Structure 1
Amino acid sequence: MKKLLKTVFAFCLIYLVSQFQVLAQCAMCRASVENNVSNGETTVGAALNMGILYLFAAPYLLALIIGILWYRHSKKNKKSIA
């Protein structure tokens, strides 16, 4: 089990380190930000980027919570069988 965790951790670390910095948004988001900046509102872009990060992180957090609950449940079942 430890070997699997080390392998998964190493894979995730390599994946995160190898990512290039991406400063892109969808076409509609970019048009909205450009329109607001031209009207003098500069805070919309930062709020939009935070929203994108929130939408990006939410499914992974949900999967993590489900995985932890599943692991605890299976560990509890192993103890009750043995």
Structure 2
Amino acid sequence: MKKIFFLLMTAALLLPGSQMMAQCSLCTKTAQQLGEGPAKGLNNGILMLAAAPLALGLFLGFRWWRSQRAQ
């Protein structure tokens, strides 16, 4: 069941039709004024900046889960 859930979540994130919006309301207003190209660049930059802390949190959570399971 966990493998199926993981595969579905991975597919949902990688499909070209799924558009992730990572902007707050203030950033959205600014991006709308800049145009389509800069808005996409701003959104991609926000997603890239969020990736490192999320990956670190997932890694630490996995290590904690594995150490707790071993006990």
Q: TM-score, normalised by structure 2?
A: 0.51
| Structure 1 ranges of 4+ moved more than 6 A | none
Question: 1:11 deviation in Å?
Answer: 0.8
Counterpart selection for 1:17 from 11, 35, 47: 11
Correspondence for 1:3: none
Amino acid at match of 1:14: L
Verify the 8 A CA contact 2:12 2:18 in the aligned structure 1.
no
| Structure with more relative contact order (C-alpha pairs < 8 Å, separation 6 or more) | 2
Correspondence for 1:4: none
Counterpart selection for 2:32 from 22, 31, 34: 34
Counterpart selection for 1:61 from 55, 63, 69: 55
Q: Please list every run of 5 or more consecutive structure 2 residues that lacks an aligned counterpart in the other structure.
A: none
Q: Does 1:50 align with 2:44?
A: yes
Question: 1:18 deviation in Å?
Answer: 4.8
* Number of residues of Structure 1 aligned to a counterpart in Structure 2: 65
Q: Please list every run of 5 or more consecutive structure 1 residues that lacks an aligned counterpart in the other structure.
A: 1-6
Over aligned residues, Cα RMSD in angstroms? 3.4
CA distance in 2, matches of 1:44, 1:18: 24
